[in-house]
Structure formats: structure tokens, C-alpha cells
Structure 1
Amino acid sequence: MGSHHKHHKSVINRLARIEGHVRSIKEMASNHRDCGDLLIQIAAARSALDNVGKLILKDHLRECVVEGVESGNKDKVLADLEEALNQFIR
């Protein structure tokens, strides 16, 4: 993901927050916190990852896909997008 993407800084900041969140979940597990609390925090971290993935996908669609189609690489761009979607949505 290049720096020309509109949401680049936001993606980096969100990933840093998610990293901290996962670290705190690890601490909770180390301190034998309630399983329900751990599962709630894991669900929150998963949701945050999904949201940052959507932001990356939005940038990819607006920048890379549009540029690729305009430059005549439509088939490759669409194949790459389909592969990315298959990896992201399982």
C-alpha cells in the first residue's frame, strides 16, 4: 500500500491501536482474566481488523483499480482484485 493512498496514515494509526489492543488481550490471558472478557476483546480486535481491511480495500478500489483500468490493464486488475477479495473474505 503506497503513500499515495488517501487513508494511508489512518491505516497505520489504526493498526498501531489494534497492535496495542492485541497486546492487552495477551496480558489479560496471562493474568487469567475471565474467558468471556477475553472473547469480547478478541471480537473487538477482529472487528477493528475488518474495518481497517475495508479502508485498505476502499483505497485500493479508488486508486489502483481505477488507474489499472484506465491504463488498459483491466483483466489483470480485476483478477488481482478478485484474489484480494478471496483472501480478505473467507
Structure 2
Amino acid sequence: MLPDRNRQDLINRMRRLEGQVRGITKMIEDQRYCVDILLQVSAARAGLQKVGLSILENHTRGCVTTAIKENRGDEMVAELIDVLDRFMK
């Protein structure tokens, strides 16, 4: 579970990304220069990666740490490795 402070920050970031994606759609509709569109797609992808990394960090510091302290570390570490594998693709 995300702390309220982190959660609000992530919500704000996602709202900015929503606007950015809408902007990319408009660029495509307006037949803007391909390179300009690609740069915006790259920026949006980087923004999503940052959101994902923030959630991953929170999960590791919170859920995984708690599981290790409660002797449930092996299953949580296995889950974390699976998530990392998917996240990095």
C-alpha cells in the first residue's frame, strides 16, 4: 500500500502523463512532424518508467521489508524478481 504522500505525488504525475498522451494524440491528428511526435512518446514512456520505479521502490521498502521481518522473505523476493523481470521488458 502506498503512503498518502507518495500516492498523491503519483496521482499528480499520472494526470500530467494523461495530458501528455492526449497531446500526442492531437499531434497525430494534426499531422505534426514525426520526429516531434516520437520525442513526446519517448518523454511519456520515461514518465511512466519513473512512476513504475517509484511504486517498485515503495513496494521494496514497505511490503518486501515487512515480509522479510515476518519470515516470509523467500516468497516475497520471488515475487519481486518476477515483477522486476516484467517491469524491465
TM-score in same-fold range (> 0.5): yes
* Structure with the bigger percentage of helix: 2
5+ unaligned residues in a row in structure 1: which ranges?
Answer: none
Which runs of 5 or more residues in structure 2 are unaligned?
none
Across the aligned residues of Structure 1 and Structure 2, the Cα RMSD in angstroms comes to: 1.3
> What SS does the aligned partner of 2:17 have?
helix
Paired residue type of 2:60: L
Partner secondary structure for residue 15 of structure 1: helix
2:9 is aligned to 10
Matched residues, number: 89
Is the CA contact (8 Å cut-off) linking 1:5 and 1:59 kept in structure 2? no
Q: Which residue of 1 aligns with 2:75?
A: 76
What are the superposed Cα offsets for residues 8-28 of structure 1, whole Å, 9 maximum, x if unpaired?
A: 111111111111100110011
Matched residue, 2:57: 58
Q: Could you tell me the percent identity over the aligned residues?
A: 36
Report deviation, 1:53. Answer: 0.9
Cα displacement string for residues 29-77 of structure 1 (whole angstroms, at most 9, x for unaligned residues):
0110000100000000011111111111110111011011111111110
- Please report the TM-score for the alignment, with normalisation by the length of structure 2: 0.93
Find the residue that maps to 1:72 and give its secondary structure: coil
Where in structure 1 do 4 or more consecutive aligned residues deviate above 2 Å?
Answer: 2-6
